[in-house]
Structure 1
Amino acid sequence: MTETAKPAQREPSDKEIRLVIGASSAGTIFEWYDFFIYGTLAYILKDAFYDVDNETLGLLLVWSTFAVGFAFRPIGAILFGFLGDRLGRKYTFLVTVTLMGIATAGVGLIPTVATIGIAAPIIVILLRVIQGLALGGEYGGAAIYVAEHAPPEKRGFYTSFIQASVAGGFVLSIAVVLACRWLIPADDFVAWGWRVPFLLSIILLGISLWMRLKLSESPVFRAMKEAGETARNPFVESFTYPGNKKRIFVALFGITGILTTIWYTAFFSGMSFLRGPMNVDDLTVELLLFVSGLIAMSFYVFVGKWSDRVGRKKPIIIGAALTLVLLFPAFWGLGSLANPGLERAAQETPITVIGPQCETDPFAELFNREQTQCGKALETLTASGVPYTLTEGPNLQLAAGGQPIALDPAWFEDGTARRDGIRSALSEYGFDFSKQQPDAVNLLGIVGLLLGLGMLSALTYGSVAALLSEMFPPKIRYSSMSIPYHIGAGYLGGFLPLIAGVIVASTGNIYSGLWYTWIVVAFGLIVAIWGIPGGPPRDFEDSGDAPPASPVTP
């Protein structure tokens, strides 16, 4: 094979770079806003679209539908990766942002389950499928577009704005919810006001299209097209190109597996933990996540710029290793600061459950399975954030500090009655189940811990767009980086809220879901140490494990 020289490229002006970064980042923020607003409003959507008596099951069903969107991201990555490598970066992510905006607005128009029955969740699932397909093509397009405009010595810095924009989409979703809460009375917001953030997507879509239509095609893709070097079948070539199978494996587990589980644990698990078992006031949780997320956005830019000096591998290894050490202590700290009374009562008055067949089945109602009374009691305790000790026995008994608690048979016929009854009984022993409003010092501590989790996310995420762009050859770059990224983000990360929720519901330990993150990160760290290229950042053609560039035969 004969070696071809790199296509000559004109250095973009500062104005062009600002437009590229601004338009790509704004579009990414809006698109991730569309995707995350569903998760931000999960606690309302569970009642709007699912008719179940079990509060835990309702939330698991919402997270299941949330996960559906992630499940289709790899398919979107294949489809739009093919189009991006064949037709161009610009027009491909114009299509993805349009699909996302339309699908998101559609969620805001769906009648509730009380109006149209089971059709409501079915329509939501279909729209989440469209969102997942669109998002599968968005990240790769935006990241590559910026990376292919950036000079090599600033690629980490410039692409870090795309990474920060993912967090920005989450922050924007919270900001919009806060604004709606301020403008719409609380009861009205639960009844119909939750639709407004979804419908706002139409306006954001218009802004994003206006900005992105100003962009020109990537100079790298333009040069390849002029030279006739674009891939014929990017999907097939992604798995047949020399060395690419190893790179895809490393990108999947050693990069994406790490970053995505840390990201969703830091933001979504943090939000669910504070709002759920810690019972912190909803508005307070949103304000905490908004402030923490807004500050944390700068961390991604810092790490991206840092990686231009120290290489892409070092921040990821440091972030993953620190996560293994700090993940559980960080959430223990959140628990003690968010609801100190609950933790104190649990220590002073330990709860004991004695009974037969004491196993929880969180999906029992969905599949018409009968759950034991003991299982129902455990489910209520877990959802209330109450730790317990379990002992097998012939009859169901609940005790607080050794004192038996009378169990009303009516509690086991209705989930709300059971929750209210058990909480009322335990409140006499010092357990406080009212909405929590931590004092100023504790709030600062919670923000500090959330920022710590945000920094762990930034270390493992801030340099990734540059790293993945450098790992793969230009002619199949869109497909090669999108496929492992969205398989990892779609399944390892997207299913995290659901998997962690099932683990917690099954074990009764509100911290046990963190083990999923810990195991994925631990495996990913091993792969990252082995497979991520070390040393200073390099273009693909200059990489030590990359084959020499060669012409594409017609």
Structure 2
Amino acid sequence: MDISTSESSRRAVTRREFTLIIASSFGALLEWYDFYIYAALAGTFSTLFFPSGNETTAFLASLATFGAGFLVRPLGALFFGRLGDRIGRKYTFMATIVLMGVATVGVGLLPSFAKIGVFAPLLLVCLRLLQGFALGGETGGAATYLAEHSPANRRGLYTSSLQTTATLGLLASIAVVSASRSAMDSASFQDWGWRVPFLISLVLLVISVYLRTKLAESPTFQSMKHAGKLSKSPISESFGKWENLKYVLIMLFSTASGVGVVFGTGHFYSMYFLQNTLKVAPNAVNLYLAIALVCVFPFYLIFGWLSDRIGRKWIMMAACLLLAVTTQPIFHALTHYANPKLEAFQKSSPVIVHADDCHFSLFAAPKTDCDRIRSFLSASGVSYLQMPLQSGQSADTTIGDTTVHGSDRHDLENALLAAGWVQHADPAQINAPMVIFLMWLLIVYLAMVYGPMAAFMVELFPARIRYTSLSLPFHLGSGWFGGMLPFVVSAMAVANGNVYFGLWYPIVIAVLSLIVGVFFVPETFRRDISQ
């Protein structure tokens, strides 16, 4: 490193650089806040916007609606990526934030299923799709814009500030939802209070738009525009030429898919698992996650800074390896520390369902005894084995030494209670520090990937098609692999009967990401991004 570079790495952040970081990051924070409010209220939405009668089905439908916003993000990536490479970075991600804000306020104004029937979930899905479409243009725009303004030897550090916004957005959504719950009784919150967090985003939207109007266009884009080097067809250049497409595919099946499953496991599924499987009170889960998020916050910047020193690739690959190796042990440990009575019950009283005519249907009420038994056990957080019926037998469930005939919920619940099952985790037996540590550990893995990733993505692609090229694989990987993770993992657990079975989904994806990354991902941290 020469003297000028060394001095540059030690100098303080200038006022202009600080303004760029704050304006870019605040807009991204708002978009993530808008997107995460739904995650914090998934349980509430399952009762407000979907038919009653089957808790498991309603919850899975709510998770699927949450995932729908992620599924449409690649379309937004293509649409806004092309605009960003054609008309500029600044104006494109200004449009994304306005669209996101309008959709979020719209969710806060929706009537419930009880008032307009099936149109309620349809309108909810439409607004979630609009949110996801807008978010598809935000990440690529903010990363490209800030990286093109950053000093070369601080690119990882500066762009890692963007990655903290996902954590801050989730933290803000938890804080606002928790404050809204605390300010009123449960009936009022269920009736109208859930709308408050969505409507608050209107104030944040105004602030964000104001901040972004103060930004200048990226110097890299201006230089290309003045030189007449802008791409006429960013989409065809990005995905129609093998020399660029190969990097799109490498990114998709390595860092993008990796960050998706690390993200979904740490930010979302751990929360759902504690709340819905281990029956920990929602406010306690929100508190644990909030503490973990605050403790993780500096690590995004630390790993971004470290990637400027030693490179981006191996930090990100280490996170995939750690997730693959430790996911199952971490979730078993969460059971041990959050609900030891449930753990003891599962060890001492194995549950066996003797039934045929079983169906796995996500969006229909259970019709057979087998369907009703499995639905109840899954909603209760109970793992079970399924055995075929003997000739002449009717469906029954063995719980320890007790056999329950038929599918009556009260009979099943009484048998579970008699065998040591608990309806709710006992707050006195929750080892809160260990639960927080385990949640923190999962999110640290995310910081390892997310901290260096924005700089890595920008460095991987040429400037003239950068916005388009990086946006699509990022949102395919993080959106499809990660956004649908809570739904896929939950559905796999319901279908298999084992509350831990679905965790093999993020493990397999993490292993695939690790293999592709080790052999095909290039190191990029010393690349010139002006061309």
User: Structure 1 residue 439: deviation in Å?
Assistant: 4.2
- Whether 1:62 aligns to 2:62 is yes
Deviations 1:518-550 (A, max 9, x none): 111111111111221137532257xxxxxxx6x
SS of residue in 2 equivalent to 1:352? strand
User: Structure 1 residue 502: deviation in Å?
Assistant: 1.3
Contact 1:379 1:508 in 2 (8 A): no
- Choose which of 380, 383, 393 in structure 2 pairs with 1:384: 380
Deviations 1:197-233 (A, max 9, x none): 1111111101111111111111111111111111111
Matching residue of 2:418 = 428
Note the aligned Cα RMSD (angstroms): 1.8
Matches within 5 A, 1:192-203: 192-203=192-203
Deviations 1:304-361 (A, max 9, x none): 111011101010111111111111101111111111001111212222222333x342
Matches within 5 A, 1:216-227: 216-227=216-227
- Choose which of 371, 375, 381 in structure 1 pairs with 2:371: 375
Which runs of no fewer than 5 residues in structure 2 stay unpaired?
A: 1-10
Which runs of no fewer than 5 residues in structure 1 stay unpaired?
A: 1-10, 412-417, 542-548, 550-554
Query: Distance between the aligned counterparts of 1:406 and 1:484, measured in 2?
Result: 51
Query: Distance between the aligned counterparts of 2:308 and 2:348, measured in 1?
Result: 52
Deviations 1:394-444 (A, max 9, x none): 32222222222354x6x2xxxxxx2x542232111211113542546x100
Matches within 5 A, 1:13-162: 14-162=14-162
SS of residue in 1 equivalent to 2:386? strand
Matching residue of 1:400 = 399
Matching residue of 1:468 = 457
- Whether 1:528 aligns to 2:517 is yes
Deviations 1:85-135 (A, max 9, x none): 111111111110000011001001001010011111111111112111100
Contact 2:315 2:448 in 1 (8 A): yes
Matching residue of 1:212 = 212
SS of residue in 1 equivalent to 2:420? coil
SS of residue in 2 equivalent to 1:390? strand
Matches within 5 A, 1:228-307: 228-241=228-241, 243-307=243-307
Amino acid aligned to 2:297? M
Query: Distance between the aligned counterparts of 1:422 and 1:188, measured in 2?
Result: 32
Query: Distance between the aligned counterparts of 1:439 and 1:344, measured in 2?
Result: 13
Matching residue of 2:492 = 503
Contact 1:60 1:501 in 2 (8 A): yes
Query: Distance between the aligned counterparts of 1:175 and 1:45, measured in 2?
Result: 18
User: Structure 1 residue 177: deviation in Å?
Assistant: 0.8
Change (3 A) 1:438 1:323: farther
SS of residue in 1 equivalent to 2:150? coil
Deviations 1:135-181 (A, max 9, x none): 01000011111101111110000000111111211111101111112
Query: Distance between the aligned counterparts of 2:500 and 2:107, measured in 1?
Result: 32
Equivalent residues, number: 518
Amino acid aligned to 1:507? N
Query: Distance between the aligned counterparts of 2:60 and 2:403, measured in 1?
Result: 31
Matching residue of 1:485 = 474
Query: Distance between the aligned counterparts of 2:404 and 2:47, measured in 1?
Result: 31
SS of residue in 2 equivalent to 1:513? helix
Contact 1:360 1:505 in 2 (8 A): no
Deviations 1:349-378 (A, max 9, x none): 222222333x34232626xxx632023212
Contact 2:493 2:501 in 1 (8 A): yes
Amino acid aligned to 1:399? T
SS of residue in 2 equivalent to 1:200? helix
Superposition TM-score, scaled by structure 2 size? 0.94
Query: Distance between the aligned counterparts of 1:333 and 1:509, measured in 2?
Result: 16
Contact 1:382 1:505 in 2 (8 A): yes
Contact 1:310 1:535 in 2 (8 A): no
Query: Distance between the aligned counterparts of 1:271 and 1:331, measured in 2?
Result: 11
Amino acid aligned to 2:513? G
Amino acid aligned to 1:372? T
Contact 2:278 2:424 in 1 (8 A): no
Query: Distance between the aligned counterparts of 1:536 and 1:47, measured in 2?
Result: 48
Contact 1:102 1:201 in 2 (8 A): no
SS of residue in 2 equivalent to 1:204? helix
Matching residue of 1:539 = 528
Query: Distance between the aligned counterparts of 2:505 and 2:368, measured in 1?
Result: 27
Contact 1:356 1:392 in 2 (8 A): yes
Matching residue of 1:187 = 187
Contact 1:63 1:497 in 2 (8 A): yes
Matches within 5 A, 1:449-464: 449-464=438-453
Query: Distance between the aligned counterparts of 2:492 and 2:523, measured in 1?
Result: 36
User: Structure 1 residue 47: deviation in Å?
Assistant: 0.9
SS of residue in 1 equivalent to 2:523? coil
Query: Distance between the aligned counterparts of 1:259 and 1:508, measured in 2?
Result: 28
Contact 2:50 2:121 in 1 (8 A): yes
Query: Distance between the aligned counterparts of 2:377 and 2:405, measured in 1?
Result: 15
Contact 1:156 1:466 in 2 (8 A): yes
Contact 1:31 1:97 in 2 (8 A): yes
Contact 2:456 2:524 in 1 (8 A): no
Contact 1:52 1:365 in 2 (8 A): no
Percent sequence identity is 39
Query: Distance between the aligned counterparts of 1:438 and 1:540, measured in 2?
Result: 55
Change (3 A) 1:446 1:512: same
Greater mean deviation of Cα atoms: 453-462 or 347-356: 347-356
SS of residue in 1 equivalent to 2:353? strand
Matches within 5 A, 1:350-365: 350-357=350-357, 359-363=358-362, 365=364
Query: Distance between the aligned counterparts of 2:459 and 2:412, measured in 1?
Result: 56
Contact 2:395 2:405 in 1 (8 A): no
SS of residue in 2 equivalent to 1:251? helix
SS of residue in 2 equivalent to 1:405? strand
Superposition TM-score, scaled by structure 1 size? 0.90
Amino acid aligned to 1:378? R
Query: Distance between the aligned counterparts of 2:184 and 2:77, measured in 1?
Result: 38
Query: Distance between the aligned counterparts of 2:263 and 2:221, measured in 1?
Result: 31
